[in-house]
Structure 1
């Protein structure tokens, strides 16, 4: 009897603690499969565009900085 009661309490705790959210997968599938001329990494909206631009900006800045450091390292300063 104790084991059965313990199972019921555990089952009730697990099933009642989970939120019931609706399945948004079909909505997302429709959004990302729509043929609207946008690349898939921008179909999510303004947030995707912002993240894309930030990533590209950091990439360009990082590449420029690495090239600058390589140039600086290839022409060392003369010590007096």
Structure 2
């Protein structure tokens, strides 16, 4: 049992302390250039289709929530007669 824990500690220490095997390309300057260019598109939609879908989903949920809140307020303000 102790040997297994010791081996696990060595493996964990080796992977954390060793340098990266593969260098990751820095994509931040490309993203900055893409999002800062003036093409008449709102910033919240420049990310592509996933941003558009997320925006529409958020707007839909917001409108439905507001409509439901107004419905509930009207229902409480005007109780039905028995």
TM-score (norm 1): 0.74
User: 2:24 matched to which residue of 1?
Assistant: 21
Give the number of equivalent residue pairs.
Answer: 71
* Aligned alpha-carbon RMSD (Å): 2.3
Counterpart Cα distance in 2 of 1:18 and 1:39: 39
Counterpart Cα distance in 2 of 1:64 and 1:74: 15
What is the CA-CA distance between 1:19 and the residue it aligns to?
A: 5.7
Counterpart Cα distance in 2 of 1:64 and 1:18: 54
Residue 44 (structure 2) aligned to one of 34, 41, 47: 41
Q: How does 1:60-71 map to 2 (within 5 A)?
A: 60-71=63-74
TM-score (norm 2): 0.73
Q: Deviations over 1:2-28 (max 9, x none)?
A: xxxxxxxx5763234676321110110
Counterpart Cα distance in 1 of 2:22 and 2:76: 57
